Structure 1
Amino acid sequence: MKQELNEKIKKRYNRVSKIYDRMDRMIREDWRRDLLAGAYGDVMEAGVGTGANLSFYPNNIQSLIGVDFSSDMLKYAKQKASQLNASYKMELIEGDIQELPFPDNSFDTVVSTCVFCSVPDPIVGLEELRRVCKPDGQILMLEHMRSENQAAGLVMDILNPITVGMWGANINRETMANIKSAGLSVVGEERLMGSIMRRLLLSPNK
């Protein structure tokens, strides 16, 4: 069942990969820049997608590995990567956030931007981010989630089957509760669009 759902979502993202950059414009460039300014050391980006974040990484990081389960999305990310003059080693690989192919405690910084709306099991995915992040490392996230406003949240619940059917993205995920369930601690939080879009700094320690 899990594998079937993974493949279903993967096919949807492969299908929309050509137009994904236009769909992704809801994430402002200054939000990406401000988030990634804090990246350091060995970095892993979960759900690198078409590579919209790649040009915003600071040149003083040591390395960057981007992971995505859509081969077509990665194709566009690799095109963007080839145009950068990065001073650090960069690798873009196909992989599942729910089963990351890295040892425990591998990265100083783990990044995700609007990824956990589409991970089939978001708690398992968040637990994987925690696992591969060093105990003294950090997890940087830009995530949209269900509104805390009762009326807006209800509208999102009603519309959610449509967005899932179109490209596999849930707009009503309870991401803050999922973060807590995964054993992560919120160190910093900035609300960028009411309670729907947030910039988060997480610690892998409870």
Structure 2
Amino acid sequence: MKLDSANIIKKYNRIAPFYEGMEAIMEGLFFKHWREKLWAKTEGQHILEVGVGTGKNFAYYPKNAKVTAIDFSPAMLAQAKLKKDARGINVDLHLMDIEFLQFADNSFDTVVASFVFCSVPSPAKGLKELQRVCKPDGKVLLLEHVLSSQRLIAKLMNFVNPLVLSLVGANINRNTVKSVQGGTFRFVRVDERSSDIIKLIEAVK
């Protein structure tokens, strides 16, 4: 099963009001820790976050950087705007698809995405766009859950993936590390603290 952007957007629009509650346990136990590590690696004055969702990364934004953030789901972006206004977060929010970024080449010092490529219909196209808008020698930082390297766990993930995809529009069996390594980045590194399923990827243009 493969869903296009329109179908995935519909699913995220539907779950947007409940999204943070759905992931609260995983966020507290695992994701928060990794988000801190992800944003600690950002550099430069102009940063792009793709797939801002409900604004879960707002707390980790660098204080002295100009952050632009996008999402392709209007409902998720609306939740992010509510959080932005309530907390006084300095971020420019835009409705935009990662596969069709409306920014000029070489615009950002660092491009960041967390748990986004599970929902991108064409990961290769999305990665090319991130590389395009990243400045030369800039970084693309990805925090992603990927297919396990353990055979039995991977088999289970592949088995349940169609159900997860149909419910929330996310794939849990992507090989995002290989996708990044297969691109044209000058340097790709996976953080040595990464687990079997959660990977922190740093790619240099």
Is the structural similarity TM-score above 0.5?
A: yes
Residue equivalent to 1:33: 36
Distance across 2 between alignment mates of 1:182 and 1:127: 8
SS state at 1:143 partner: strand
CA drift at 1:37: 2.1
Per the normalisation by structure 2, the TM-score is 0.90
Query: Residues 83-162 of structure 1 correspond to what in structure 2 (within 5 A)?
Result: 83-86=86-89, 90-162=91-163
Q: Structure 1 stretch 180-189 or stretch 143-152: which is displaced more?
A: 180-189
Residue equivalent to 1:187: 189
CA drift at 1:85: 4.0
CA drift at 1:94: 0.5
Residue equivalent to 1:64: 67
CA drift at 1:136: 1.4
Name segments (4+ residues, structure 1) moved above 3 Å: none
- Corresponding letter in the other structure for 1:64: V
CA drift at 1:140: 1.5
CA contact 1:124–1:182 (8 Å) conserved in 2: no
1:75 aligns with 2:63: no
Distance across 1 between alignment mates of 2:38 and 2:59: 13
Identical aligned pairs, as a percentage? 41
RMSD (Å), alpha carbons: 1.7
SS state at 1:7 partner: helix
CA deviation string 1:134-154 (max 9, x = no partner): 111111111001001111111
CA drift at 1:33: 1.7
Aligned length: 198
Residue equivalent to 1:8: 7
Distance across 2 between alignment mates of 1:136 and 1:145: 26
Q: Give unmatched runs, 5+ long, in structure 1.
A: none
1:165 aligns with 2:161: no
Distance across 2 between alignment mates of 1:69 and 1:58: 23
CA contact 1:191–1:197 (8 Å) conserved in 2: no
- Corresponding letter in the other structure for 2:170: A
CA deviation string 1:178-203 (max 9, x = no partner): 112232331342344x3110112211
Q: Structure 1 stretch 120-129 or stretch 29-38: which is displaced more?
A: 29-38
1:51 aligns with 2:55: yes
CA deviation string 1:92-114 (max 9, x = no partner): 01011001000111000100000
SS state at 2:69 partner: strand
CA drift at 1:90: 1.9
1:21 aligns with 2:20: yes
Q: Give unmatched runs, 5+ long, in structure 2.
A: none
CA contact 2:145–2:172 (8 Å) conserved in 1: yes
Per the normalisation by structure 1, the TM-score is 0.90
CA drift at 1:34: 2.0
CA contact 1:37–1:57 (8 Å) conserved in 2: no
